[in-house]
Amino acid sequence: MQKIESIVKDSRCYFNDYGVRSGLRQKRKLGAFVNSLIATYRKKASHIGYTFVDDEYLYDMNRSHLQHDTYTDIITFDLSDKTFDYLLGDIYISTDRVKENAQSLRLSYQDELLRVILHGALHISGFGDKTKKRKRK
């Protein structure tokens, strides 16, 4: 139980580039905001790792883990132990998808990157992409 308590007390978000340059700014402030957003919806604290990758890496991950044969901007893995009151998870984001989505939405890359990061925080908090109606289809 001691180890879990230390995780909760040291609540953090980690941001890592893997073969890409995310260009993410103000990581500490963003991590604090993500933690407060998560706490608002579900848990007291969080330990979340964000990894920024290219399209091919996330495409391969999407096929192997989710059996989806499509490109995606984000994949979220909730690794939390439901018997404890904390969140643990890994979030992978394709910077290629973020760039393309930013162009099509007429947003800056940074704004779209922040939107996708917060989208992942909501996923890890238990929110899905589909409404009940869309799931039935």
What phi, psi does 115 have (nearest 5°)? -60, -45
Answer whether 89's CB lies under 8 Å from 80's CB.
yes
What tokens appear for 77 in the block? 């893995």
pTM of the model: 0.84
Which CATH number covers residue 62? 3.40.390.30
In a domain, 123, yes or no: yes
Does the residue 42 lie in any domain? yes
User: In the chain, how many domains are there?
Assistant: 1
Q: Beta strands of 54-105 (E only): which ranges?
A: 74-78, 87-94
Query: Which domain range does residue 73 map to?
Result: 28-129
From first to last of its 137 residues, the chain has per-residue pLDDT tens of 344 444 444 568 899 999 999 999 889 889 888 888 888 875 665 689 999 999 999 999 999 999 999 999 999 998 887 777 678 899 999 999 999 999 999 999 999 999 999 999 988 888 877 655 444 44
Q: Is 67 part of a structural domain of the chain?
A: yes
Residue 20, in any domain of the structure: no
Q: Is residue 21 part of a domain?
A: no
